[in-house]
Amino acid sequence: MKIIKKITLLQKHVTALRRRRRAVGLVPTMGYLHEGHLSLMRRARRENDAVIVSIFVNPLQFGPAEDFKQYPRDLSRDLGLLRAACDIAFAPSAREMFPDDFTTFVEVKGYSDLLCGGSRPGHFVGVATVVCKLLNIIGPDRAYFGQKDAQQAVIIRKLAKDLNVSVAIRILPTVREKDGLAMSSRNAYLSSQERQEAVVLFQALKSAERLVAGGQKDPSRLIAVLRDFIGRSAAARVDYIEVVDKETLRPVKKIEKEALLALAVYIGGTRLIDNTLLRAR
Ligand code: AMP
């Protein structure tokens, strides 16, 4: 595995791969790797000749009062895990990606302010801009993302379509801990008591699935039940719970066939997100 920090050097390696007609898969991450990330890499490995993993804690996608500084980082551990999982680890500095004279931003209008965008203004402009840069730098055949970040997945698909980026976007299922908690680098923030309570997100999703399978079609009733359920956990505070169209991310009035249930909940000071696709009877 090669560890590359400079964009021009990465591009030289990618050009060499292209010349040899190698299919390239890209897995963008912010590091502090867990099994969720590794599942994307395994799939990329199966579908491509070469796998590039980026590790970049993107300052652009953090608000001024958010956790950019505290975000967990352990590059040497990550590189150890990557050795068996990819061919190139791309770990640029913030300055390498966003030099002082950087002024171009990508906004997927009408999608960036919904759901997580409501409580994290500017977040998805940061995400779309960095992903667009990575796609331009590398020009992968396929790029891999997790359904855990459902809104991000929709936004990246839209970005690739609107800007005619020639890449297949693959969205893979959420990998969970044994008790159902979605794996996330931010789980490292949780105290052991909070870690136990954090399962409330998954339990809420499961009870929603059951209610919808049992005939509940009214999103506002469903949301009220979930708010009540999550409210019983002392450490939990709901940021949002929404039932939306899985492609437009707009709220639905009735759960007809399928709808995306997305939620963000603070467990103590840690904001966690999760989602599930609800299927009506
Ligand atoms: P992050 O490092 O959190 O920015 O995540 C990098 C990529 O891994 C994103 O596409 C995430 O959606 C994906 N990812 C994060 N957690 C999980 C998980 N538990 N299961 C599957 N994919 C995940």
CB atoms within 10 A of CB 182: 22
Asked if 273 and 258 touch (Cβ cutoff 8 Å), the reply is no
Looking up tokens 């804690």 gives: 57
Note the pLDDT of residue 281.
84
Q: Does the beta carbon of 26 lie inside 6 Å of ligand 1?
A: no
Tell me the per-residue pLDDT of 28-79, one tens digit each, with 9 for 90 and over. Answer: 999 999 999 999 999 999 999 999 999 999 999 999 999 999 999 999 999 9
Q: What is the helix (H) or strand (E) element at residue 35, kind and residue range? A: helix 35-47
Note the pLDDT of residue 110.
97
Residue of the CA atom closest to atom 5 of ligand 1: 29
Note the pLDDT of residue 225.
98
Q: Which atom of ligand 1 is nearest to the CA of 39?
A: 21
Which ranges of the chain have pLDDT less than 50?
Answer: none
Q: Which amino acid is at 44?
A: A
Q: What is the helix (H) or strand (E) element at residue 24, kind and residue range? A: strand 24-29
What residues are annotated to the active site?
37
